[in-house]
Structure 1
Amino acid sequence: MNKTDRQLAIMLELQRSKVVRAEDLAALFETSVRTIYRDIQALSETGIPIFGAPGHGYSLMEGYFLPPIGFSAEEAVALLLGADFIEQRLDGDYGRAAKAAKSKIEAILPETVRDESIRVRETMRLLNAGEPRTGMNEKDTLGQVRRAILERRKISFSYKKKTPEADGNRKSIREVAPYGLVFAQGNWMLIGHCGLRQDIRHFRLSRMTELVVLDTPFAMPPGFNLSLYRPQDDRSEHVWIRANPEIADKIAETGNFYIESAEEREGGLWVHLRVRAPEEILHLILSWGGDVEVMEPESLRFRVREEAEKMFKRY
């Protein structure tokens, strides 16, 4: 990053934050603190009102804003693609805001940059063709959950699990303190504290119905940071399959989350998978057809055989 670009980036950081330390700016832009001091002095000499407080950091005079900034074609594409994602994946409030933002961005772009950004966007797709947009019902749920998170209010909903509980039921009523939303593997997930399980749990929005935002307030646990949060890996069950090496790429594409290792041996490709419950990958194994054989556990071999017999009877 050259001096001019760095000084502009420092200005943007000062405008975004109330107070910024020289040490933090130096770490952010991978330069020395002495260089940051020189940059701040150069910016001050151009008339930009930057105030420094020893031991605290630098800040801009309240009410000072940078003049409008031009975008390169690449920067415009990044913003417009991001707005496309928000319009397609978030609820109506943000969807409308994203659409309006796109219009404003396109309106202020110089004609040459606008034409170039259109040309670049035509060469890319944000979503896979087979991946549907967030459905209307899910968008409604997303909007309610998002507002409950901001207002720090608990929610209640009926949740349908992928696999049944020990009693055979798949549906249960949950009361949850919602901490945040995550978009992963094409699905919106709610991260929150479940009153039923007395622990942090993850809920797929597409499986939530009868959602009610309650009047019950909750407090975010001290130190919880959604961007740093990593769920506990509870995949404690091991599955071994033997596969035709010719479908190794297909297995890797569809079962990638579960795969621990894959090794070619005599007799085929041996794949080791780790799961929460063997039944959760039954649909994957069936999708690979006669090119795979479950070696362990025996209970999963039985389930595959049972499903194959049902299919045989139907056909």
Structure 2
Amino acid sequence: MTRIESKLQRLSQIEATLVDHPEGITRAELARRFNVHRSTILRNLADLTIPVYEEGDRIFIDRESYLINLRLNIHEIIFIHLAGRLMTSNIDRQNPHAASTLRKLSTAIQGLAPQISQFVKGSANTFDNGSKKQDPHYMQVLEVLTSGWARNQKIHLWYHSQETGPIKEYIFSPFFIEVGAFGQTIYVIGRLDPDGTYRTFKIDRVERIELLTEKYAIPEDFNPDDLLNNAWGIWFTNQEPVTIELHFSWRVAQRVKETLWHPTQRLILQEDGSIIWQGEIAEPREMVPWIRGWGADVEVLQPESLREEIKNETIRFMNLYGIFAGSKENEK
């Protein structure tokens, strides 16, 4: 191996070592690892094309600026494109990082699939054009949460649970960031200090946020899929899930059958073409907007509390539009 080949190999190894050591590493440790003098490591660090910095005597890779080498085939690229398209319909704010991701993909496949490249570029534009609102604070909150999650550093945040509610302070360890199925927003799931309880925060409601230096570790047994298995969207509890039973009319039966709405879903076909839908849901109230969207083509059979909630809301709708039980208009 020539000197140049040896140096290039060592530069690659130094990069991999820095990536594998988020806590940083000293020049002396690098010199011992690669069996070279510390002056050689100093020269090698200067030759690196990746973003590095020093704190005290330790060398770190800048994990927010570091560009990852990733090789994708056209089907994997289309998956990312579809995920981006789904995000555009679920998030109402601009996101320059999402736009940049799709533009890079568009450029990468321009020679391979030029027509698809143009469509991917168009998807990128939807993340930073005038169709979505600018919200620098929202992006700053998301970026700080991402940094804390990536670096395993705790977060100090100020949060209001409702628009008119009091602002409360929390020390928080982010374990997972999730897109909400409803409500056009993003949530973060993690653990509170000092009691260690799990908590979900809606990032729209974070008034202020700071990245702390204190480290945390995500438990090995933490699994967001297990935690959210019975959630309709993002709400989870320590209680047993509630059995939900809905009766869908024959008019929408085919549409209901086409989709797996929840992992615990069970469908019972009826002789008249209608369907009984059953599922085990952590928090039934989270289903209300979805149930409401089916209008008169769905009836809540159980639990009784959810049935009463939908019934009372129906009565409010009738009063709102001046429709009263037994009226001819109500029979249409």
* Bin for the TM-score computed over the shorter chain: 0.5 to 0.7
TM-score (norm 1): 0.55
User: RMSD of aligned C-alpha atoms?
Assistant: 4.9
Q: Aligned match of 1:298 in 294, 301, 304?
A: 304
For 1:153 and 1:203, the matched residues in 2 are separated by 14
Alpha-carbon offset, residue 214 of structure 1: 5.4
TM-score (norm 2): 0.53
After TM superposition, list the pairs within 5 Å mapping 1:90-239 onto structure 2: 94=97, 98=101, 101=104, 106=107, 114-122=110-118, 136=135, 137-151=137-151, 152-160=153-161, 173-183=169-179, 185=181, 187-195=185-193, 198-206=196-204, 208-213=205-210, 215=212, 217-221=214-218, 223=220, 229-232=224-227, 233=229, 236-239=241-244
Structure 2 CA distance for partners of 1:266 and 1:230, relative to 1, 3 Å: same
For 1:261 and 1:79, the matched residues in 2 are separated by 28
- Does residue 241 in structure 1 map to residue 246 in structure 2? yes
Structure 2 CA distance for partners of 1:237 and 1:200, relative to 1, 3 Å: same
> Number of matched residues?
236
Alpha-carbon offset, residue 312 of structure 1: 1.1
Aligned amino acid, residue 320 of structure 2: R
Are the aligned partners of 1:156 and 1:213 in contact in 2 as well (CA < 8 Å)?
Answer: yes
Alpha-carbon offset, residue 300 of structure 1: 1.7
Alpha-carbon offset, residue 170 of structure 1: 10
Structure 2 CA distance for partners of 1:123 and 1:183, relative to 1, 3 Å: same
Alpha-carbon offset, residue 251 of structure 1: 3.7
For 1:64 and 1:278, the matched residues in 2 are separated by 54
Instruction: String of CA shifts for 1:82-111, please: whole Å, max 9, x gaps.
Output: 9978x9889978468648856xx84xx7xx
Tell me what 2:74 maps to.
74
Identity of aligned residues (%): 14
Alpha-carbon offset, residue 274 of structure 1: 2.1
Are the aligned partners of 2:160 and 2:167 in contact in 1 as well (CA < 8 Å)?
Answer: yes
Structure 2 CA distance for partners of 1:302 and 1:83, relative to 1, 3 Å: closer
Q: What runs of 5+ residues in structure 1 fail to find an aligned partner?
A: 1-10, 19-61, 163-168
Aligned amino acid, residue 230 of structure 1: D
Matched residue SS, 2:244:
strand
For 1:170 and 1:260, the matched residues in 2 are separated by 38
For 2:149 and 2:172, the matched residues in 1 are separated by 11
Matched residue SS, 2:175:
strand
Matched residue SS, 1:114:
coil
Are the aligned partners of 1:83 and 1:98 in contact in 2 as well (CA < 8 Å)?
Answer: no
Are the aligned partners of 1:159 and 1:171 in contact in 2 as well (CA < 8 Å)?
Answer: yes
Please say which of residues 76-85 and 173-182 is displaced more in the overlay.
76-85
Tell me what 2:31 maps to.
none
For 2:173 and 2:246, the matched residues in 1 are separated by 40
Tell me what 1:312 maps to.
318
For 1:77 and 1:178, the matched residues in 2 are separated by 28
For 1:295 and 1:75, the matched residues in 2 are separated by 43
Q: What runs of 5+ residues in structure 2 fail to find an aligned partner?
A: 1-8, 18-43, 50-68, 232-240, 322-332
